[in-house]
Structure 1
Amino acid sequence: MNRQKFITSLMLGLAGLAASAKKVSSLAPSPEVGGGCDGCNLIYEGMPSNLSNKAYLPGWTAGGKKLIVEGTVYRKDGHTVAANVILYIYHTDSKGYYSASPGQVNGKRHGHLRGWLKTGCDGKYTFYTTMPAPYPERNNPAHIHPVIKEPGINEYYIDEFQFDNDPLLTDSLRSKTENRGGSGIIKLSKNASGILVCKRDIILGLNVPYYR
């Protein structure tokens, strides 16, 4: 084989390898949005068939320190409101446990203080609950877990709701937040009825791995 034929044969072989690699790549499954999430699948356990942009968690009428959280969900541009987005939240009870209610079947791992919302055309949401407590004998700040489910995208978590005045929320912990969906550190105030209120806007896909 002369030099020219050898080079031609080599180039054809490399082109074939590149085409095969591209085909294999196109057949490989895309990574999950968010990079996976332990327990996020529990969003579907016990989810009501009809959701609104307001949710009352079981603790709201059972005593404890009442808390109202509201905000707006935006598309990744941070300006366009996002409709039909499900927000699932769950948190500990007043003793710091994910306690299940008597006879609870669905989502026991997340306890009974859990709820679902679905944004309307204005992207707004509000949920009514009670203040969570930190885990017993640990230094984790009190928090509320949020999971997002957008149409056509798998469920994924965003940064926990945490409270700016929590003494357990140290500067070191603040610096380690991922800001998934935007900052989850919220400031508490009281409304005219003396109930704790706070606001958090959510930006879909912000700092969320593999978001598309």
Structure 2
Amino acid sequence: MKKLALLLCFPGLLFAQKKVGGPCECCEAIYQGMPKSISWETHISDKTEEGEPMEITGIIYQQDGKTPAPNVILYVYHTDARGKYSRGAGEECAKRNGKLRGWMKTDNMGRYKFVSIRPASYPNDNIPAHIHPVIKEPNKNEYYIDEYRFEGDKFLRKEDIARDENRGGSGIIKLIKNDKGIWIGKRDIILGKNIPNY
């Protein structure tokens, strides 16, 4: 009865008590160094960064998979062209994520875009190249979705894809190099899809 009374007086407590997405190692890095103002598009690497340029776009949808979701923060981070999380700064998780990290907040059409370099696989390993994404919706805690991985990656095996959770939808994207030498890819995301406790 006490809990019900508290929720009626303070409905925000409902969100504080419900942990969406389950455990999320270092998801707090989303807040470490987060800009005060966040656009729907961001440049993660600068022109001096070694590697092949890459541009990823997409739309984040509400749970119905049709309605665009505005004001959703998407945080991404990835390795450099040598497969390392190079020269990260700040708090512990931000250091672990490296310097190639960025934030976007979807616009009214649910759009996001990030420009960076194509990440490499970890050195001396057989894990596919990937980009780590974390979602932060209004009135929900942050949670991870499936990594961005790339069709044709020599380390991306069918059995690995079969084990994917498809959190937020499939993270496997096709990269196509345009006439300017930029790898172009697209991934749409559905909020809550295969996310525990959503």
- Fold conserved (TM > 0.5)? yes
**Which residue in the other structure is 1:105 paired with?**
90
CA contact (8 A) 2:147 2:171 kept: yes
**AA in 1 matched with 2:25:** D
Question: Is 2:19 aligned against 1:32?
Answer: yes
From 54, 60, 71, the counterpart of 1:73: 60
From 139, 143, 154, the counterpart of 2:126: 139
**Which residue in the other structure is 1:154 paired with?**
141
Secondary structure in 1 matching 2:90: coil
From 137, 149, 164, the counterpart of 2:151: 164
Deviations 1:63-97 (A, max 9, x none): 31000000000001000000000000000111111
CA contact (8 A) 1:60 1:128 kept: no
What is the distance in 2 between the residues matched to 1:180 and 1:44?
21
**Which residue in the other structure is 1:83 paired with?**
70
What is the distance in 2 between the residues matched to 1:60 and 1:89?
19
Aligned-pair identity in percent equals 51
What is the distance in 2 between the residues matched to 1:99 and 1:194?
24
**Which residue in the other structure is 1:204 paired with?**
191
Question: Is 2:42 aligned against 1:55?
Answer: yes
What is the distance in 1 between the residues matched to 2:82 and 2:162?
27
**AA in 2 matched with 1:47:** M
Question: Is 2:83 aligned against 1:96?
Answer: yes
What is the distance in 2 between the residues matched to 1:92 and 1:194?
20
Aligned length: 188
Secondary structure in 1 matching 2:102: strand
The 1:30/1:105 distance shift into structure 2, 3 A limit, reads closer
**AA in 2 matched with 1:176:** R
What is the distance in 2 between the residues matched to 1:160 and 1:61?
26
Larger Rg: 1
Shift of 1:61: 4.3
User: Gaps spanning 5+ residues in structure 1: where?
Assistant: 1-18
What is the distance in 2 between the residues matched to 1:194 and 1:204?
32
Deviations 1:122-165 (A, max 9, x none): 10111000011111111110000000000000000000000011
What is the distance in 2 between the residues matched to 1:61 and 1:73?
30
**AA in 2 matched with 1:77:** D
What is the distance in 1 between the residues matched to 2:157 and 2:23?
27
**AA in 1 matched with 2:180:** S
Which sits farther off after the overlay, 27-36 or 156-165? 27-36
Question: Is 2:114 aligned against 1:127?
Answer: yes
Question: Is 2:166 aligned against 1:184?
Answer: no
**AA in 2 matched with 1:80:** T
RMSD between superposed Cα atoms in Å: 2.1
TM-score for both structures, normalised by structure 2: 0.89
Structure with the higher fraction of residues in helix conformation: 1
Secondary structure in 2 matching 1:108: helix
Deviations 1:20-44 (A, max 9, x none): 9x98xx9998441001200101100
User: Gaps spanning 5+ residues in structure 2: where?
Assistant: 8-12
Which sits farther off after the overlay, 30-39 or 72-81? 30-39
Shift of 1:58: 2.5
What is the distance in 1 between the residues matched to 2:186 and 2:170?
11
**AA in 2 matched with 1:131:** R
